[in-house]
Structure 1
Amino acid sequence: MTKSVTDSSGSNAGHLGGLALAIAGAVLFSTKAVVAKLLYRYHIDAVTLIAFRMLFSLPVFAAVALWQMRAGPPLSTADRWRLVGLGLVGYYASSFLDFLGLQYITVGLERLILFLTPTFVLLISATVLKQRIGRLQWIALAIAYAGIILVFVHDLDGGGDVVLGSLLVLGSAATYAFYLLGSGELVRRIGSLRLVAYAMCVSSAACIGQFFLLRPAGLLIQPAPVYWLSLVNGLLCTVAPVFMTMTAVQRVGAGIASQAGMIGPVSTLFLGAVILAEPVTSWQLAGTALVLAGIYLLSRVKKAS
């Protein structure tokens, strides 16, 4: 009896710990938009911003990649090329488009658009893979996109090139959806930790190489706050949430971890208000609620099917 109670309490503690990791990971990953906005105040561009982000995160991912290289079986040539492609699409192109878009839109709208990634996965599956979309899935898509339109129309009144920024972030969500679809078979074969470490190394090489191709090396000399904010962006907003989310998925499963991630857009909205003084209006709250409701309904429909 005592052992049963102990096992039950240990299981509950593990579940709560996994849930806490999923929530913390979602909040930290969402915070990168706020950090990017702070960095843009020092008049650096997206090419420089993403290069600094990867310079600080690369050592960690490279260490994990070397560890996994020694622990796991060697990769085939085909798998190596797939990893290069996935790294360029999922973490280089997607991140670069995201940071470009952040120059023009609020962090709240950016996070909501990125949260549409599961809908892009569904739409790509339907158009490219010819999978059928059910009636409830269409309803979920309609609710989610209605929320985006609500916030988008509201933000158009704030000036700036909101249309361009929104399209860039939409491109980020779409490219990451292609990454998710393309990584499905590979992650089952080589493992999620190995896949992420290798893909992030590829992405880091592309981001840093892009900087040296397009910008003078002298731009590496920046004010101290740029280094500190880039350190936060690289370690707390990139490395930490990746491993937190992976650990959470192992403890509580992908379904619960993804639902806990719904805290991301909400946290970004309020962090933007507190740190960046971006207003939180009833329109934004209503749009956020619609997006979250649509994504939650979509996750329940997929789970039921």
Structure 2
Amino acid sequence: MKQASWMLLGAVFLWGLTVVPVKWAMETLHPFSLMCMRLLTAGLILFFFAKRNAKARRHAGAQQEGLIIPWKRMAMLSFTGVAGYFLCNFSGMSLTSGVHASMIAAMLPLFTLSLAALYLKERVTISQWLGLLIGMAGVLMITLQSQSKASFSVLGDLLVLAGEFVFAIYVIQQKRPAGEEKMPSEWFTCLTLLIGGIMVIPFALAEVWMYGPPVFNGKTFACFLFLTLGCTVCAYSLWNQALKTVSAARAGIYLNATPLINVATAILFLHEPLTAMTVLGGFLVLIGVAWAERNKQRNSPAEPFLESKSL
């Protein structure tokens, strides 16, 4: 159990470092090109490992069923969980600060809560709705503060917020599985990455046509490698290995540290300012999430499955 906890911490720490290399990489790369290359490269790497593991299991004599892929379902999940989410998130991060993006990203549990009530008819208490309102008030404080610096873009903040809403739709879809739950997790992840990356290709090509091909230097290439190998392949592997021995409900608690790490690294490495209004808004978002999650655990059983933003 102790080893699993370290794996969870390692995965969350890697995801918490995402904002800084993304902002550095976008100094020379446009967001859609960076996103497309990252998704396709990570997907191909995970495809290689999935094939190797399947071959190793065959050699070991393990009984295996044929891989059945629900392609329409996978396309829908790839659009919401990968292509749609990253299109909004990377576009927003190119316009706003890493601090703003990190704090707004903490709204995901509250969006998931509201969609579960609307579409899955799950019971949501008044206290949980109150947590949602507190969190939204925090987002408004972050987004609508005085635009004294160019990096604080309302449009960028709203795009990041839209990305979290799209990813919440992805989480809700997975609460009612329709075939993908029978696939090994390694195949599910590599296929969603690859399909999502293919969906982003037209946007990347349009970007190349408008601004020219991607430009790499040493710093950009190092950031790209870290995002692909560290924040995607390695973090995902650690997370799923830990979930073999740790419940999804307990693992989900670790994810609350991700926006805090992103904020800290954005201030430390990007030298971004932290205004009093941003601090207060971020505090309200975290209070809203903590309040809603506390009442959720008190009034309902733990979720049997949790899909993190391991992409």
TM-score normalised by structure 2 residue count: 0.82
Write the letter of the residue equivalent to 2:84: A
Write the letter of the residue equivalent to 1:36: V
Please point out which of 64, 73, 78 is paired with 2:65: 73
Residue 304 of structure 2 is matched in structure 1 by: none
8 Å Cα contact 1:35-1:233 kept in structure 2: yes
Bigger mean CA offset, 241-250 vs 172-181: 241-250
Give yes or no for the alignment of 1:219 onto 2:210. no
Counterpart secondary structure, 2:111: helix
Give yes or no for the alignment of 1:259 onto 2:250. no
The sequence identity of aligned pairs, in percent, is 21
Please point out which of 19, 23, 27 is paired with 1:37: 23
Instruction: Choose between structure 1 and 2: higher helix proportion.
Output: 1
Give yes or no for the alignment of 1:229 onto 2:220. no
Write the letter of the residue equivalent to 2:35: I
Give the 3 Å change call, closer, same or farther, for CA 281–249 of structure 1 in structure 2. Answer: farther
Give yes or no for the alignment of 1:204 onto 2:204. no
Give the 3 Å change call, closer, same or farther, for CA 67–85 of structure 1 in structure 2. Answer: farther
Structure 1: 5+ residue runs without aligned partners? 1-13
Write the letter of the residue equivalent to 2:208: R
Give the 3 Å change call, closer, same or farther, for CA 69–97 of structure 1 in structure 2. Answer: farther
Residue 108 of structure 2 is matched in structure 1 by: 117
Please point out which of 281, 288, 292 is paired with 1:298: 292
Q: What is the distance in 1 between the residues matched to 2:93 and 2:134?
A: 24
Number of aligned residue pairs: give it. Answer: 289
Give the 3 Å change call, closer, same or farther, for CA 221–291 of structure 1 in structure 2. Answer: closer
Give the 3 Å change call, closer, same or farther, for CA 137–48 of structure 1 in structure 2. Answer: same
Q: What is the distance in 2 between the residues matched to 1:164 and 1:58?
A: 30
Q: What is the distance in 2 between the residues matched to 1:293 and 1:286?
A: 10
Give yes or no for the alignment of 1:92 onto 2:77. no
Q: What is the distance in 2 between the residues matched to 1:154 and 1:136?
A: 27
Counterpart secondary structure, 1:251: coil
Q: CA deviation at 1:166?
A: 1.6
Write the letter of the residue equivalent to 1:233: L
Q: What is the distance in 1 between the residues matched to 2:237 and 2:193?
A: 12
Q: What is the distance in 2 between the residues matched to 1:168 and 1:302?
A: 28
Q: CA deviation at 1:38?
A: 0.7
Give the 3 Å change call, closer, same or farther, for CA 152–296 of structure 1 in structure 2. Answer: same
Task: Please give the residue correspondences for 1:33-182 in structure 2 after superposition, counting only pairs within 5 Å.
Answer: 33-42=19-28, 44-67=29-52, 73-76=65-68, 79-154=70-145, 156-160=147-151, 162-182=153-173
Residue 61 of structure 2 is matched in structure 1 by: none
Counterpart secondary structure, 1:219: coil
Q: CA deviation at 1:82?
A: 0.7
8 Å Cα contact 1:91-1:199 kept in structure 2: yes
Q: CA deviation at 1:177?
A: 1.1
Counterpart secondary structure, 1:142: helix
TM-score normalised by structure 1 residue count: 0.84
Write the letter of the residue equivalent to 1:162: S
Q: What is the distance in 2 between the residues matched to 1:248 and 1:282?
A: 38
Write the letter of the residue equivalent to 1:255: A
Q: What is the distance in 2 between the residues matched to 1:73 and 1:220?
A: 42
CA RMSD of aligned residues (A): 2.6
Structure 2: 5+ residue runs without aligned partners? 58-63, 301-311
8 Å Cα contact 1:61-1:201 kept in structure 2: no
Q: What is the distance in 1 between the residues matched to 2:199 and 2:53?
A: 21
Q: Which string of whole-angstrom CA distances, capped at 9 and with x for unpartnered residues, describes residues 276-297 of structure 1? A: 0002344333333332232223
Bigger mean CA offset, 98-107 vs 185-194: 185-194
Give the 3 Å change call, closer, same or farther, for CA 297–246 of structure 1 in structure 2. Answer: farther
Q: CA deviation at 1:157?
A: 3.6
Q: CA deviation at 1:170?
A: 1.6
